[in-house]
């Protein structure tokens, strides 16, 4: 049976959830895509995690996708001699390139490029903004700062420089090794962290060579200035509100989120809204009302997917978090005004739409239509349909398991692996049989069929047919 929702759930796997039985539970509860975070853990751990996802796929009887999330050039402090220090507002605090353990007066930053962009008056944020410094003096390899806010600092906390683009590559040596490993494991999506410019995505695509879909994480303000060029090179995009929220004013984050979702939808690429969606469920079996409203807002905007991070990776209630996310998505999509509000966020006219896809989407609005069945080799037809946000589900039928897994991230698309029909006359039979088997087509309801000739050739759909589920 098909789940009664169109938005998708991305669940991060970690110590709390990566074992085989847990992955099956999360998939059964509604997770569609499993994120493997290469910022933590060893490659051998990730290999076992990915194998567990593939086993879960067989257990639940539907495709599941693996998203490999590269660490990127996350800037972190060095270590402290006592692991943590107490700070006082107004005190002096030095950052430098020394590898000596830090103390309450200084700490090392193992990336000299940081200091090349600092100037007197520059703000430095540590530990996701919990500690704020202001530069008094700086030079090659050092910065003398004043503590403006924060009382405690510990080993390896993150460092952010609001308003500064740091001249470092998006793919570090670690990322290159992790990327090669991820591709060897046949992951379905690769996410590049801290994208700042279009050339970052171009480099990723050059390495990947189509072996996985490429996704840009937008978490640096510099990326917003080059957004169109970045999106031109993306198969998908993530609104990564963690680091983005550190470098932007809090009131700016929801505005940026909405604009990013609209930009992705206009291009027909999937967009994920991520970070702190159900953050309280790391330690609580239920979310706050504000968190539920936050998730609902993303659904009303028409985001393809929402993501759970620490909630499922390291939280105390990973299964409850996925279950709750599924409940929120389902409830919102049952609301009478959901279609109106979600479609109101669609930012473009249909003038450039593929005529056949647009016709199928309109035909699906009829009460007699049960679903759309799209035969696809690469997944492009289903992606184009998702851009139109048809209210009836799209059954993506493909002989290619890679294409099916990629589509797990896409709004309203239910991918299924089927043998390629050898004859156009088989299209209706296969489409109806799969729709009935999936519980999508009640007796005598219409199934809209999209396909292309010649069969099995990648390209635009050029056949639109209508079939009916059999009477009882």
Give the residue numbers marked as catalytic.
Answer: 35, 76, 217, 275
Phi, psi (rounded to 5 degrees) for 337: -95, 0
Q: Which helix (H) or strand (E) holds 406?
A: helix 401-406
Give the tokens for residue 386.
Answer: 């998702």
Question: Could you tell me the maximum CA-CA distance found in the chain, to the nearest angstrom?
Answer: 80
Give how far Cα 68 sits from Cα of 76, 221, 267, 319, 332, Å. 21, 23, 23, 21, 29
Q: Which residues contact 205 (CB under 8 A, 6 or more apart)?
A: 214, 233
DSSP per-residue codes, 151-195: SEEETT-BEE-TT------SS-HHHHHHHHHHHHTT-SEEEETT-
Sheet holding 463-468, edge to edge: 413-417, 394-398, 369-375, 446-451, 463-468
Rg of the chain in Å (alpha carbons): 24
Q: Assign residue 61 a region (left: φ > 0; alpha: ψ between -120 and 50; beta: otherwise).
A: left
DSSP per-residue codes, 15-41: TTT-SHHHHHHHHHHT--EEEEETTSS
**CA 465, CA 472: separation in Å to the nearest integer?**
22
**CA 413, CA 384: separation in Å to the nearest integer?**
11
Q: Which helix (H) or strand (E) holds 335?
A: none
359: preceding bond cis by omega (within 30 degrees): no
């Amino acid at each position: 049976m098909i789940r009664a929702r169109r938005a998708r759930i991305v669940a991060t796997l970690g110590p709390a959830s990566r074992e085989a039985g847990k992955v099956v539970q999360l998939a059964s509860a509604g997770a569609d895509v499993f994120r493997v975070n290469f910022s933590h853990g060893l490659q051998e751990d990730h290999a076992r995690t990915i194998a567990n996802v593939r086993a879960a796929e067989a257990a639940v009887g539907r495709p599941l996708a693996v998203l490999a999330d590269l660490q990127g050039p996350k800037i972190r402090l060095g270590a402290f001699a006592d692991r943590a220090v107490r700070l006082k507002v107004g005190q002096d605090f030095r950052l430098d390139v020394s590898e000596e353990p830090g103390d309450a007066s200084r700490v090392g930053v193992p990336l000299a490029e940081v200091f090349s962009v600092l100037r007197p008056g520059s703000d430095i944020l540590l530990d996701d903004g919990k500690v704020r410094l202001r530069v008094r003096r700086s030079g090659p390899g050092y910065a003398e700062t004043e503590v403006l806010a924060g009382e405690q600092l510990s080993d390896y906390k993150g460092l952010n420089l609001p308003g500064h683009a740091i001249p470092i590559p998006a793919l570090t040596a670690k990322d290159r090794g992790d990327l090669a490993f991820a591709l060897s494991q046949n992951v379905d999506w690769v996410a590049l962290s801290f994208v700042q410019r279009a050339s970052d995505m171009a480099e990723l695509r050059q390495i990947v060579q189509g072996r996985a879909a490429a996704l840009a994480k937008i978490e640096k303000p510099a990326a917003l200035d080059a957004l169109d060029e970045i999106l031109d090179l993306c198969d998908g995009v993530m609104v990564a509100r963690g680091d983005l929220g550190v470098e932007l004013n809090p009131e700016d984050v929801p505005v940026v989120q909405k604009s990013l979702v609209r930009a992705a939808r206009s291009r027909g690429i999937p967009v994920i809204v991520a970070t702190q969606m159900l953050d309280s469920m790391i330690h609580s079996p239920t979310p706050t009302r504000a968190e539920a409203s936050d998730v609902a807002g993303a659904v009303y905007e028409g985001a393809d997917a929402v993501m759970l991070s620490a909630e499922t990776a390291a939280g105390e209630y990973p299964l409850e978090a996925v279950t709750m996310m599924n409940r929120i998505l389902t409830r919102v999509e049952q609301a009478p005004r959901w279609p109106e509000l979600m479609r109101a966020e669609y930012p473009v006219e249909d003038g450039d739409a593929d005529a056949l896809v647009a016709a199928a989407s309109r035909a699906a609005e009829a009460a007699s239509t049960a679903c759309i069945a799209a035969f696809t080799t690469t997944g492009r037809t289903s992606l184009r349909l998702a851009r139109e946000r048809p209210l009836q589900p799209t059954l993506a039928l493909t002989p290619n398991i890679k294409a099916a897994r990629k589509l797990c991230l896409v709004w309203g698309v239910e991918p299924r692996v089927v043998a390629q029909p050898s004859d156009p006359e088989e299209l209706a039979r296969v489409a109806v049989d799969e729709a009935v088997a999936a519980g999508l087509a009640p007796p005598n309801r219409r199934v809209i069929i999209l396909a292309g000739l010649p069969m099995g050739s990648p390209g635009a759909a050029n056949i639109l047919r209508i079939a009916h589920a059999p009477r009882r």
